[in-house]
Amino acid sequence: MSLGYAEKLSYKEDIGTVGMTEIFDSPQTLQEKTEELATIIKHSKHLVAFTGAGISTSCGIPDFRGPKGVWTLQRDGKSIPEASLPFDRATPSFTHMALVELEKAGILKFLISQNVDSLHLRSGIPRDKLSELHGNSFRELCPSCGVEYVRDFEVETIGMKETSRRCVDEICKARLKDTVLDWDDALPPKEMNLADKHCRMADVVLCLGTSLQVTPACNLPLRCIRGGGKVVIVNLQPTPKDKKAGLVIHGLVDKVIAGVMHLLNMRIPPYVRIDYLQICFKRLLSKDNDRYVKWAVSVVSVHGSRAPIPFLRSVEVLFPESPLLKSAILTKPPFQLRRHMLSRPLKMLVKLNFGDGCRCSCTIIDFPFNFEASMGSIDNDMDGVTQKLRDSALKDPRCGQYEIVERKSLLSTRSEITTYAIVTNVVRHRCNPVASPSKANGFVHQTYQNIVKRLNEGTNGNEASPKRLK
């Protein structure tokens, strides 16, 4: 969760139990329970996942109720812990990406999250298969027409208040609102209704990294029991719902899910982060000699010229073929450079220097222009561009690859705006549940051959080797 989010919450005296001691199942018990969970998932017909802050701790985001959680430290009069990365650059964990693979394989039918960190959306879970019960710190909603806007920066307010931006629809233009709940805010009906529906349909609700204390969300998993379903809880601390669960596993969520995916013989897809920005080239009016022209180039967010670009540290503008033109380093938004020069074709390089959390330090965009002619319009398919970049990023994980999504000319402002998609991070997860023997809270060194054999024998005992689930 966001530390900014925790600080923005209204004061509440009773926030439930915090700081409970973490429990670790023995390696043998953990192995047996992981095997049982893999069998449950393999034979499930309608699997629903229910996630909490515990699945994001390995992403560098502190939880709330753990021994070093935000609320635990606040109760003890200590300062709030610091995240290891900027909140907007947090990378989906092994568990996040495993859930993506389970959804793609048709096993996971729906995902319910109490988190506001947007990591499920970033990981690739389809929006129509996700309920974010407590909102999303990176999502705004138009209260008039219902359009959602997912940002690459954290929205500045919580409590469903008006933000500084408006709906882009020319007819609507209503003031947008944040989507993050404060303590006394009711759960959004749309998210709640879908979550309730799928929990009632589920034969398995898998609760991952949640204390199951915040009402009314914590009661949703129990809906499946009425229809003969089973609740499985994976959490380091005991929860109020443990007695009603069919299986309770005390272990690190990533380690447990790694074991499950290994047993199911399922791969973990790499995480490829693609960010977007715009380069705007504008011809300025000039009363000087026609041989000279005034122009400006600026690097702006796709979410608006005043919106931040959190992944960008600075911008350098270079003129490799024009030694008389001085290069410029732009360190503060808006990243804009103005020049007055002869009206002739010019080659310009725009170097984007990325901030913390990006796998590469920079990328250079070749940006030639001709004052006498337009660069021409481009309107590429967004999904096609995204897929092309994902494919190239998997072959070359150095990042920095980019493609043009759109280029349009605005005659009224004498400007051309080019939208770029850029690969800023690639993370590969290994499906390896084996940890160092010195770590008591992980799996000790062991082989899974016998477990895989027993799992695949399942009900008929005829399968000789694990097969990928379709």
- Helix (H, G, I), strand (E, B), or coil: what is residue 71? helix
To the question of whether residue 59 is assigned a binding role by annotation, the answer is: no
399 vs 275, 318, 424, 425, 427, CA distance in Å?
11, 21, 6, 6, 10
Q: Which of 214, 209, 161 is nearest to 15 (CA)?
A: 214
Pairing outcome for strands 175-178 and 139-141: antiparallel
Q: Which of 134, 250, 303, 429 is catalytic?
A: 134
DSSP for 186-235? PPPHHHHHHHHHHHHH-SEEEEES----STTGGGGGGGGGGGT-EEEEE-
Give the separation between CA 338 and CA 344, rounded to whole angstroms: 16
Pairing outcome for strands 349-354 and 362-366: antiparallel
To the question of whether residue 207 is assigned a binding role by annotation, the answer is: no
To the question of whether residue 431 is assigned a binding role by annotation, the answer is: no
Q: Which of 191, 198, 63 is nearest to 133 (CA)?
A: 191
Please give the order of strands across the beta sheet that includes 230-234. 130-132, 108-113, 47-51, 204-208, 230-234, 247-249
Q: Is 388 left (phi over 0), alpha (psi -120 to 50) or beta?
A: alpha
Give the separation between CA 207 and CA 250, rounded to whole angstroms: 12
What contacts 250, CB < 8 A, 6 or more positions away? Answer: 22, 23, 24, 25, 235, 236
Q: Which of 188, 184, 134, 143 is nearest to 161 (CA)?
A: 143
Q: Which of 390, 372, 387, 377 is nearest to 418 (CA)?
A: 377
Give the separation between CA 359 and CA 276, rounded to whole angstroms: 16
To the question of whether residue 360 is assigned a binding role by annotation, the answer is: no
8 vs 12, 155, 158, CA distance in Å?
12, 12, 7
Q: What number of residues does the chain have?
A: 470
Could you confirm whether 262 is annotated as catalytic?
Answer: no
Residues taking part in catalysis: 134
Residues that constitute the known binding site: 142, 145, 167, 172
Residues that constitute the known binding site for Zn(2+): 142, 145, 167, 172
